[in-house]
Amino acid sequence: MNVRTVATEPFTDQKPGTSGLRKKVAVFQAPTYLENFVQAVFDTVGVPAGATLALGGDGRYLNREAIQVILRMAAANGFGRVLVGQGGILSTPAASCVIRKYGTHGGLILSASHNPGGPEGDFGIKYNTANGGPAPEKVTDAIFARSKALTSYRILDAADIDLDRPGVQRIGEMVVEVIDPVADYAELMESLFDFAAIRELIAGGFGVCFDAMHAVTGPYAKEIIERRLGAPAGTVINGVPLPDFGAGHPDPNLTYAHELVEKMYDLDAPDLGAASDGDGDRNMILGRGFFVTPSDSLAVIAANARLAPGYAKGIAGIARSMPTSAAADRVARKLGVPCFETPTGWKFFGNLMDAGKVTLCGEESFGTGSDHLREKDGLWAVLFWLNILAKRRQSVEQVVQDHWAVFGRNVYSRHDYENLPTDVANAIIGQVRAACATLPGQAFGNYTVKFCDDFAYTDPIDGSVSTGQGLRIVFTDGSRIVFRLSGTGTEGATLRLYLEAFDVDPARQRGDAQLLLEDLILIADQISGLKAKSGRERPTVIT
Q: Is 321 in the site for ligand G1P (CB under 6 A)?
A: yes
Half-sphere CA count of 380, side-chain side, radius 13 A: 35
Q: Is 277 in the site for Zn ion (CB under 5 A)?
A: yes
- By three-state DSSP, how is residue 119 classified? coil
Phi, psi dihedrals of residue 92, rounded to the nearest 5°: -60, -50
How many other C-beta atoms can be found within 10 angstroms of the C-beta atom of residue 179?
20
Q: Is 498 in the site for ligand G1P (CB under 6 A)?
A: no
Q: Which residues contact 181 (CB under 8 A, 6 or more apart)?
A: 56, 85, 86, 87, 89, 90, 91, 94, 219, 220
Q: Is 39 in the site for ligand G1P (CB under 6 A)?
A: no
Classify residue 328 as exposed, middle or buried by CB count within 10 Å of its CB (0-12, 13-18, 19+): buried
Q: Angle at Cα 290 formed by Cα 253 and Cα 506, nearest 5°?
A: 120
Judged by CB under 6 A, the stretch of 43-51, 338-346, 423-431, 522-530 that binds ligand G1P is 338-346
**Which residue's CB is nearer to ligand G1P, number 19 or number 466?**
19
Minimum CB–partner distance for residue 379 and Zn ion (Å):
12
Q: Is 113 in the site for ligand G1P (CB under 6 A)?
A: yes
Catalytic residue among 19, 91, 113, 534: 113
Distance (Å, rounded) from C-alpha 180 to C-alpha 480? Answer: 45
Phi, psi dihedrals of residue 493, rounded to the nearest 5°: -125, 145
Q: Where are the alpha helices (DSSP H) in 82-151?
A: 92-101, 137-147
Residues in contact with Zn ion, shown as a per-residue x/- string from 11 to 50 under the rule CB under 5 A: ----------------------------------------
Q: Is 92 in the site for ligand G1P (CB under 6 A)?
A: no
Q: Is 346 in the site for ligand G1P (CB under 6 A)?
A: yes
Minimum CB–partner distance for residue 363 and ligand G1P (Å):
4
Task: Tell me if residue 147 is catalytic.
Answer: no
Select the binding partner of residue 344 from Zn ion, ligand G1P, none (C-beta < 5 to 8 A, by kind). Answer: ligand G1P
Select the binding partner of residue 279 from ligand G1P, Zn ion, none (C-beta < 5 to 8 A, by kind). Answer: Zn ion
Minimum CB–partner distance for residue 312 and ligand G1P (Å):
29
Q: Is 345 in the site for ligand G1P (CB under 6 A)?
A: yes
Select the binding partner of residue 140 from ligand G1P, Zn ion, none (C-beta < 5 to 8 A, by kind). Answer: none
Which has the closest alpha carbon to 346: 129, 494, 495?
129
**Which residue's CB is nearer to Zn ion, number 8 or number 490?**
490
Distance (Å, rounded) from C-alpha 158 to C-alpha 170? Answer: 10
Residues in contact with ligand G1P, shown as a per-residue x/- string from 155 to 194 under the rule CB under 6 A: ----------------------------------------
Task: Determine how β-strand 236-237 pairs with β-strand 272-276.
Answer: unpaired
Minimum CB–partner distance for residue 14 and ligand G1P (Å):
17
Q: Is 96 in the site for ligand G1P (CB under 6 A)?
A: no
Whole-Å CA distances, 81 to 50, 78, 104, 105, 530: 7, 9, 9, 10, 52
Select the binding partner of residue 371 from ligand G1P, Zn ion, none (C-beta < 5 to 8 A, by kind). Answer: none
Whole-Å CA distances, 447 to 12, 307, 364, 411, 523: 45, 39, 23, 15, 9
**Which residue's CB is nearer to ligand G1P, number 270 or number 294?**
294
Judged by CB under 6 A, the stretch of 67-75, 155-163, 196-204, 342-350 that binds ligand G1P is 342-350
Out of 279, 296, 364, 375, point to the residue binding Zn ion (CB under 5 A).
Answer: 279
Q: Which residues contact 513 (CB under 8 A, 6 or more apart)?
A: 293, 411, 412, 413
Out of 44, 342, 365, 368, point to the residue binding ligand G1P (CB under 6 A).
Answer: 365
Minimum CB–partner distance for residue 482 and ligand G1P (Å):
11
Q: What is residue 311's DSSP assignment? A: G
Q: Which residues contact 148 (CB under 8 A, 6 or more apart)?
A: 10, 11, 12, 14
Select the binding partner of residue 486 from ligand G1P, Zn ion, none (C-beta < 5 to 8 A, by kind). Answer: ligand G1P
Distance (Å, rounded) from C-alpha 473 to C-alpha 440? Answer: 9
Q: Is 487 in the site for ligand G1P (CB under 6 A)?
A: yes
Minimum CB–partner distance for residue 256 and ligand G1P (Å):
14
Judged by CB under 5 A, the stretch of 43-51, 235-243, 275-283, 401-409 that binds Zn ion is 275-283
Q: Is 128 in the site for ligand G1P (CB under 6 A)?
A: no
How many other C-beta atoms can be found within 10 angstroms of the C-beta atom of residue 507?
7
Judged by CB under 6 A, the stretch of 103-111, 202-210, 360-368, 456-464 that binds ligand G1P is 360-368
Helix 422-435 and helix 518-528, axial crossing angle in degrees, nearest 10: 100
Judged by CB under 6 A, the stretch of 78-86, 205-213, 244-252, 363-371 that binds ligand G1P is 363-371
Minimum CB–partner distance for residue 207 and ligand G1P (Å):
29
Q: Is 10 in the site for ligand G1P (CB under 6 A)?
A: no
- Cβ contact 501:520 at 8 Å: yes
**Which residue's CB is nearer to Zn ion, number 279 or number 296?**
279
Select the binding partner of residue 18 from ligand G1P, Zn ion, none (C-beta < 5 to 8 A, by kind). Answer: ligand G1P
**Which residue's CB is nearer to ligand G1P, number 226 or number 364?**
364
Q: 20: phi > 0 → left, psi -120 to 50 → alpha, else beta; which?
A: left
Q: Is 122 in the site for Zn ion (CB under 5 A)?
A: no
Classify residue 376 as exposed, middle or buried by CB count within 10 Å of its CB (0-12, 13-18, 19+): buried
Phi, psi dihedrals of residue 62, rounded to the nearest 5°: 90, -5
- Cβ contact 212:224 at 8 Å: no
Closest chain position to Zn ion (CB): 113
- Footprint of Zn ion (CB under 5 A): 113, 277, 279, 281-282
Hey, which residues are catalytic here? 113
- Footprint of ligand G1P (CB under 6 A): 18-19, 113, 321, 344-346, 363, 365, 367, 486-488, 496
